Amino acid sequence: MKTKYLPYTKELRKVGGAPDDEDWDKVASFLPFLEIFYDTTLSFSGSRYVTGNTFVEQIYDIGYTINHYVDDLQLSDGLRSMARQMKLKFDKYWANVNHLNVLMFISLVLDPRHKLRYAEWITHRSYDPTNAFVLCQRIKDVLKKLFDFYASKHLSSTQKTSCTGNPNSSSRGQTQGGEGEVRKLKGTNLRKDYVNEIESIDTFETMTELDRYLGDNCAREKIMSWPHSLGV
């Protein structure tokens, strides 16, 4: 534009001139930072796959990136300044653990690749020990209340079936409500940082199906970025 289209340069002189090499270098430095927001938007807006179990990971990944840019002294002042402004807005919504929607973490726990260990790991990575403990306790309390609620519904349904005189109701009642085996899902390559810090637990004595689920090994998956075609 600068060499082929003279009005381009002429018009931009009114606002300080056309961008020079230094200006373009600054623009290029912003692109990797902004890419995470673009990828997260695509992931959240997907309509052909489940999205609820990705909210916590995507949101806190943004927080990690912002903190990294704020603390990196090798970055330009402009980029660090923008990151500090973003951190103020991020903390406005996510710093107070008492105002968070715990159901986002429940969705993460119910993903067999993550379960409670991953939710606790993210929590301790994101908050000081006191707030991390409070949030972890909220997650556990809500998870147990949800399980107890649905377990009571299942028990009520089993009792009604038993009253009808179904000959198979007795045997079904002995294998449901926490006594059945939960299939162990297997996979490979969990997220790098998580795998490096958390070891899988092979066995765990449990009392309920919820405990069995949380105690089983997490399913493994290959680490890959969301294809940009998803959710379009």
Which residue type is seen at 52?
G
CA distance 121 to 144: 19
Give which of 100, 145, 92, 146 is closest to 119, Cα–Cα. 100
- Please give the C-alpha separations between residue 217 and each of 84, 111, 139, 189, 196, in angstroms, as whole numbers: 39, 12, 20, 13, 15
Percent of the chain with pLDDT over 70: 72
- Average pLDDT of the residues in 213-230: 66
On average, the pLDDT of the chain sits at: 77
Count other C-beta atoms under 10 Å from residue 33's C-beta. Answer: 17
- Average pLDDT of the residues in 68-82: 86
CA distance 220 to 185: 8
Contacts for 45 with CB less than 8 Å, ≥ 6 apart: 231
Residue pair 87/67 in contact (Cβ under 8 Å)? The answer is yes
More confident residue, 98 or 207: 98
Is residue 44 situated within a structural domain? yes
Is residue 199 situated within a structural domain? no
CA distance 42 to 32: 16
Is residue 151 situated within a structural domain? no
Is residue 145 situated within a structural domain? no
Is residue 79 situated within a structural domain? yes
Look at 112-121, 124-133, 211-220 and tell me which has the smallest mean pLDDT. 211-220
Model confidence pLDDT, tens digit, residues 20-52: 888 888 888 888 878 888 888 888 888 887 888
Q: What secondary structure, in 3-state letters, does the chain show?
A: CCCCCHHHHHHHHHHCCCCCHHHHHHHHHHHHHHHHHHHHHHHHCCCCCCCHHHHHHHHHHHHHHHHHHHHCCCCCHHHHHHHHHHHHHHHHHHCCHHHCCCHHHHHHHCCCCCHHHHHHHHHHHHCCHHHHHHHHHHHHHHHHHHHHHHHHHHHHHHHHHHHCCCCCHHHHHHHCCCCCCCCCCCCCCCCHHHHHHCCCCCCCCCCCHHHHHHHCCCCCCCCCCCCCCCCC
Model confidence pLDDT, tens digit, residues 140-152: 999 999 999 988 8
pLDDT at 198: 59
Q: For residue 22, what are the domain limits?
A: 1-95
Is residue 129 situated within a structural domain? no
pTM of the model: 0.63
Is residue 216 situated within a structural domain? no
pLDDT at 86: 92
pLDDT class of 138 with cuts at 50, 70, 90: very high
Is residue 85 situated within a structural domain? yes
Model confidence pLDDT, tens digit, residues 157-181: 665 655 555 544 444 444 333 333 3
Q: How many domains does the chain have?
A: 1
More confident residue, 167 or 194: 194
pLDDT at 109: 93
pLDDT class of 124 with cuts at 50, 70, 90: very high
Give which of 30, 37, 61 is closest to 192, Cα–Cα. 61
Q: How far does Cα 38 stand from its chain's mean position?
A: 16
> Is residue 102 predicted with pLDDT exceeding 50?
yes
Percent of the chain with pLDDT over 90: 27
pLDDT at 169: 43
pLDDT at 23: 82
